[in-house]
Structure 1
Amino acid sequence: MFLFPVTSTASKPRATLTAQSSVIPAGGSVTLSCSVEGSAGWKFDWFRRDSVSSKAQLTRGNEANRVISVSQGGLYHCRGGRGDPVYYTEDSSDVTVTETLPSKPTVTLQPSWTQIYSGETVTVRCEIQGGEGAQWTYEWRAAKLNTPPTSNEYRIIRATESDSGGYSCRGRRDYFFSEWSDIITLTVSSSKPRATLTAQSSILPAGGSVTLSCSVEGSAGWKFDWFRRDSVSSKVQLMRGNEANRVISVSQGGLYHCRGGRGDPVYYTEDSSDVTVTETLPSKPTVTLQPSWTQIYSGETVTVRCEIQGGEGAQWTYEWRAAKLNTPPTSNEHRIIRATESDSGGYSCRGRRDYFFSEWSDIITLTVSYKPKAKLRADNTAVPVGGSVTLTCSVNPSSSSGWKYYWYRDEKSSEALTTQDAVFHSNGQISVSQEGLYRCRGGRGNPVYYTEDSQSVRIGKTASNRPVVTLYPNWSEIYRGETITVRCEIHGGDTEWDYEWETNSRIKAPNQNEYRIRSASSSNSGNYRCKGRMKSSQHKTTEWSDSVTLTVSDSK
């Protein structure tokens, strides 16, 4: 007979319950294990409660397997039992298993700005769709929440940079959790933002308008206040306030700025920088030249003047557009002293006072050329007996004007001719009856600007002797092959002469007193006249003789 030792323990054993996890994922399960330390042969009973105060419900009894899976949240405990009659252990301690519900909250911001600034107020709110009737307790994950709230919203008053970061939440009721929401990131900037004002154009066209735009970079939800001043020193006037539209049109010149505001209480940005809008007045200036010559010459002086009709009483500042004006004047006139070719070009101007512009004037074009040379013409180079010669002086181009003309005789004379020396006709013409070497020049302006002297023209005197053209034989009509002599005869005195002939025949006569034509042909037909020039004084000539006509017929 075998005897087995039996050990008896005075204290009743206690079951031990362990959970694989205290949280059941949405749609999943958790494994629970029950054990009695140091002994065997146990079967297990499993109990669950909905809450601490509710009655425990047997979920499974007399289970040989000490491990089960559960998919409901609640308070769980177990006990072991063995033998017949059954001997039970003490109940295990409770284990809390929380069930994750499939609902996922959403974190929202009110106002809905993820970019805010130091001093603004914002509310972070946790919203669970479909969970409005339940009594939820809320958990928060947030950068600054050392003691997170248990309510569904968190109000940040006078935000600082430390409030920046990600915010997420979940709800809890009894043994149920929602999932964690997605993270929403809040950024708090330490510096107060500055509004930016831009203008479509800085100049208002006459009778038109300009579009202004106000913006705050990198953030939203702003409404805008618009301000205007008449001048830098004048008081700011609010034009429009709390405007949802960030764009306005203005039709007045002035200094404009804007600011943004949002939230309750309203949080304001810094004011934008001023933008100057200048209004174009319908008055249009005129550019004039004094003297009024658009064609001038190197070394001359001219004044370019800006004139605004009807604007005489106003204090204008002037702007110029000109080829050479690197530093344009602000006065109404620009004096060009000793002009050069680089002063050539178009000149236009406009007036400005406060925030008003006139229109630009039409362009006046100034042309500066090299110093011109006068041109002298004579209608005859010999003074007829008892008569005179007309001299004409001019300056090219003909577009230049304002010239007066100065006349000189003989090369060394620097004294201009007077009415005792010549007969002065319209400007640029004189009549002279004295022989000599004549030249002229033009002058204009104050001080007088002179052209280069013209080329000199020699004017001679006509001798009283008048030549006669004779034919030998004295036949005015001859035939081809005949011989005839055309002779220039000057009667009176013993003066020696050089001769000049003028003829429209195809064969020209030699400069001798007679021209012998042998074997005449039709080429010798024409008018013949002559004059003499004294050998002793080449400036004295006779008048031209009367013309004699010679006809040569081809038929015998």
Structure 2
Amino acid sequence: MNVAQQLSWSQMFRGETITLTCEVQGGEGVQWEYQWRTPQSQTLRTNKKDWTFTASISGEYSCKSRPRYGLYASTKWSKSVKLSVSDKPKAHLIIATQKPSWSQMFRGETITLTCEVQGGEGVQWEYEWRTPQSQTFKTNNKDWTITASISGEYSCKSRSRYDSYSSTNWSEAVRLHAELKITKSPVGDRVTLKCSVKPSSSGWSFFWFREEQSSKLLTKQDAVFLSNGQIRVSQEGVYRCRGGRGEPVYLSDFSDPITIEPEPEPEPVLRVSPRWLSPGSSVTLSCQVEHESAGWSFYWYKAVPDLSHKSGSYSYELLPASSNGTADNSYIIHGQTHTAGYVCRAGRGEPHVYTLYSQPHFVWSGDLHPSASLSVSPDRVQHFTSDSVSLTCEGNSAEWRVSSFLLPDLLSFCSDWGTMNGSTCHVQKIQSSNAVFWCESGSAFSNAVNITGHNDDLILLSPVHPVTEGHSVTLGCKWRTENLLSKVFFYQNDTLIQSESRVEMIIPAVSKSHEGFYKCQSSGKESPQSWLAVKCQ
């Protein structure tokens, strides 16, 4: 005696129909009546060996039988069948594309919608889809690939292929729409523009245009390209952007235009003197604002690197005796020994109205310090413009960025012109003819180094760091295309100091008198000159 299921499913969903069959082994030819026992220990009788009912609770079902005629004894209770009944499964609609993380689609893109039934494993489903126009249609595949054409809500539900009464509810709707937009934020006399997809999605590259050249992409000559779809511009005009992603590239529509106009609020100009620190010298800050006689008070700040913004930014800390402002537009700092950045702004009136902050300006120290130092490879001031250079930060910090002041007065960061890998910035080509580089962490500035790039045929080989008195130093000369040189002449401050056949000049014990500008000549060619700094023992 046993109970057999008409369907092989042992996992049932509440509301599904199931048929149990009570089979009497060896009872052929006898007319039987059947008794059924349910999970609630209730019993019921039927004249048919099949019992069809709607699944509602989990539990064990068993049966027994006895002949309808005669006094024969009934069979024993059969071995029970255990049914597990769970709540109706839920359909869940997701988007699958070339990149599954894209949640926003654009007209013309190909997308795949997937109807997943949570808790419906092992069941063969057919699927019903509902479009933004409220049209419905069915498929046997849980994936539906379409070309995005209109915005609206899509949803799905599923039904067991073998039970027309069992279906899920409609899934939560997925809404497909997109908007490309520009936001802007002022950075002194420059403006940072950001192109983004709203709501945000990944995989996009962004292309920028200015109105008078709407068919021509902006290049590095027109703007500073930052990360995360941002650029920094200083020229007035109407800007637009568009996004692209995928292969081949799918281009979005243009964003709405945004107009960059002159900033009505004045921006002060900060000057720092001297730019390079020398022992015992004081640093003088001067803050210049238009209409200086108009009752301005001046506020002075130290720039503190903020590494949470990879494109480069600073927070500002008021300098001593500056909380209430100063009537004088100059401020003197005594005892400064390390590289440091400063900012000023002005305010007037009641209530107080402030100008913008000035651009950060720096005083640089060439001395190496254990807490923060910058090394250069290859270790020399002059490089050919085709040379690659590595700038490495060391010290008491787990995170660094490499900063540069490209003359005249353009602050930028490794992300603008190189690749930051750990604590090292790799520069493929030295573009600027003259630049200062240093390392920044959240609490420290390193020494600064001056590096120059040249298109000349000949460069001077001299160290980037100051040389300590009493130590030796070697100067050399290098051709762009040749390693061996004929007779080389070395000059200090335009005075010939060595005219031997050697290609190097060695100073065995450097003194303060050796400080100055050096250059070399060979075969009628002359290198640019570089400053050799000498520091006290």
| TM-score exceeds 0.5 | no
TM-score (norm 2): 0.33
Greater radius of gyration (CA): 1
